[in-house]
Chains A and B, each alone.
Chain A
Amino acid sequence: MSIMKLSMGPQHPITGHFRFILDVDGDLVLKLEPDIGYTHRGIEKLAEKRTYLQNLPLIERVNSYCDSVGTMLGYLEAIEELMGLEVPERAKYLRVIAAELNRIASHLYAACLFSVATGLETMLMWPINDRELILDLLEKLTGQRITYTYPTIGGVRFDMSEGFKEEALKRLDYLEKRTEDYYKMLLWNHTFQIRAKNVGILKPSDAIRLGIVGPNLRASGVKADVRKDEPYEVYDRFDFSIPTGKNGDSYDRLEVRFKEVEQSINILRQAIKDIPKGPIKKWAPPIVPKGEVYTRVEAARGEFGYYIVADGTMKPYRLKMSPPSFRNLIALPYLCRNVPLADVPVIYISLDLIPMDVDR
């Protein structure tokens, strides 16, 4: 028996922008070493050169994939905290609506990738088509398909268009019905369960020790969600629950995402019902006062942290992002030890790592 080095990616249907360097013995993976940085743009450095407002599109593209609103909210929270700016009520609700729609789109995208990894092609087409319906709604709200730059300092850029509420409620009803189909098609599918159950088990103690966040942490059974722990925007006004998993395997990680879609629908209905009338934007000065702040928000893939050092000019002195995928990355080499090679894509996809999020 001899140990062989195997390189997977970046040109590979599953790995996306990553490269994995695997030590394999026959079909058994002994060690996995992720090689990242294929999408590193140096956003933290570029942000020091641009003003706070110019940074918005830059920061959005950390995860422009499917979760741009969730990504931006943390940055805006940080700036608004430094400025002491109170955002108008209506803007807060609109931000929540956009963020939750984004979360649904992102989780549906994760389900697509998961079904590609397990070879279930039908389940690739269904959620991606339903994701288009959500993107249509977002387009109606923001004017773009995936890169919105919708929330801005002091509020949001556009108000709801006419008929948005009715259209949104209609589509949410449809999506709720549709999630039942997903359960039948994917989660209760015996073939899928064989592939995903008991694969890549992450115990709660390990998950906390490694600093895992988001649905991956909750799938291990830890009840931690920034929307509940430190409510930002208006999340403390909504009635929703935090779904958790039992075993912490790949199956649970996907199931938690589906349950979160249901909770997001729940939040959206309440937000659309309660949204008050009023202005959507407040004027904000271009200069941010001196100070330091660390804010956390719950993006689709987990907790997104922003650490900003402001020196009283128009540009940040230091902007540190702590994206969820970068923090979940450590779980990949941890879980891919002594597993069959065929399980590596399943474990990787179940963590829902986004390379752009990792590399920044």
Chain B
Amino acid sequence: MLEKIGKSLMNIKLLRKIFNWGRAWSLWSVHLETGCCGPEDMARACARFDTERFGTLPFPTLRECDLIFVTGFVTKKMAKRLKLAYEQMPEPKYVIAIGHCSISGGLWWDSYSVVQGVDEILPVDVYVPGCPPRPEAWIQGIRMLQEKIAKEGLKK
């Protein structure tokens, strides 16, 4: 019964907008580094670039996160763990692929142990190219995801 009411309330445009706004500005990210963009993950979360301004906060517990940054290349060994981590996150969940390596394999296109693009295992929402992308680019990726979330569930 309650679910039904909730669903019908979500059909109201204004409420949906408020709901999306709340979700877009509290994207907590998983602390799982897969490749060399890891230090930039720290740089963007810390003092100078501070993505907490945009509501993105690295958080240790998977169960309370909604965003996963795939930081760089994903090896075949890591791919299983990445998928496992993704499956543990509650819905709705988003993926941002950071760096050339996670988009297409990048520099490791002929390597025997690197997955050629993370979209083989996870559904990716935003791609951020660069090797590694600057923290500003990370922020742009977050902003693009927020724009995407803001349009969710709304009919044109």
Which residues of A are interface residues toward B (Cβ below 8 A)? 10-13, 16-17, 37-42, 45-46, 49, 57-58, 61, 64-66, 109, 112, 124-126, 128-129, 131-132, 145-147, 356
Q: A11-B62, A38-B81, A147-B131 are in contact. Are A16 and B38 (CB under 8 A)?
A: yes
Q: Is A125 touching B112 in the complex (CB atoms < 8 A)? A: no
1/0 per residue, CB under 8 A from A, across B36-48: the answer is 1011101100111
- The listed residue (A42, A129, A131) touching B113 by CB distance below 8 A is A42
The reply to whether the CB of B78 lies closer than 8 angstroms to some CB of chain A is yes
A-side contacts of B42, CB under 8 Å: 109, 112, 128
Interface residues of B in 41-87 (CB under 8 A from A): 42-43, 46-48, 60, 62, 73, 75, 77-78, 81, 85
A-side contacts of B43, CB under 8 Å: 128, 131-132
Q: Is B48 touching A129 in the complex (CB atoms < 8 A)? A: yes
A109 to B39, CA, bound (A): 9
Shortest CB-to-CB span from A175 to chain B, Å, is 15
A57 to B111, CA, bound (A): 15
The reply to whether the CB of B114 lies closer than 8 angstroms to some CB of chain A is yes
A-side contacts of B112, CB under 8 Å: 42, 45
A-side contacts of B47, CB under 8 Å: 125-126, 128-129, 132
Shortest CB-to-CB span from B16 to chain A, Å, is 33
Shortest CB-to-CB span from A53 to chain B, Å, is 14
A129 to B48, CA, bound (A): 6
Shortest CB-to-CB span from B55 to chain A, Å, is 19
Q: A11-B81, A37-B77 are in contact. Are A132 and B48 (CB under 8 A)?
A: yes
A181 to B96, CA, bound (A): 37
A-side contacts of B19, CB under 8 Å: none
B-side contacts of A37, CB under 8 Å: 75, 77
Interface size (B, Cβ < 8 Å)? 33
Q: A13-B60, A17-B33, A45-B112 are in contact. Are A58 and B39 (CB under 8 A)?
A: no
Q: A17-B78, A41-B75 are in contact. Are A49 and B110 (CB under 8 A)?
A: yes
Q: Is B31 touching A11 in the complex (CB atoms < 8 A)? A: yes
Q: A128-B46, A129-B48, A147-B131 are in contact. Are A46 and B111 (CB under 8 A)?
A: yes
Which chain A residue lies CB-closest to B109? A46
Which chain B residue lies CB-closest to A112? B42
The reply to whether the CB of B5 lies closer than 8 angstroms to some CB of chain A is no
Q: Is B114 touching A41 in the complex (CB atoms < 8 A)? A: yes
- The 5 A-B pairs at the shortest CB distance, nearest first, are namely A129-B47, A128-B46, A11-B32, A125-B47, A64-B36
Q: Is B78 touching A10 in the complex (CB atoms < 8 A)? A: yes
Shortest CB-to-CB span from A302 to chain B, Å, is 19
A64 to B131, CA, bound (A): 10
- The listed residue (A57, A64, A124, A356) touching B46 by CB distance below 8 A is A124
Q: Is B132 touching A146 in the complex (CB atoms < 8 A)? A: yes
A125 to B43, CA, bound (A): 10
Q: A11-B32, A13-B31, A16-B38 are in contact. Are A39 and B108 (CB under 8 A)?
A: no
A124 to B134, CA, bound (A): 20
A-B contact pairs, 5 of them (CB 8 A): A39-B35, A41-B114, A45-B111, A61-B107, A125-B46
A10 to B30, CA, bound (A): 12
Q: Is A17 touching B34 in the complex (CB atoms < 8 A)? A: yes
B-side contacts of A13, CB under 8 Å: 31, 60
A126 to B47, CA, bound (A): 8
A-side contacts of B110, CB under 8 Å: 46, 49
Q: A112-B42, A129-B47, A132-B43 are in contact. Are A40 and B113 (CB under 8 A)?
A: yes
A-side contacts of B30, CB under 8 Å: 11
Q: Is B134 touching A145 in the complex (CB atoms < 8 A)? A: yes
B-side contacts of A356, CB under 8 Å: 35-36
B-side contacts of A42, CB under 8 Å: 111-114
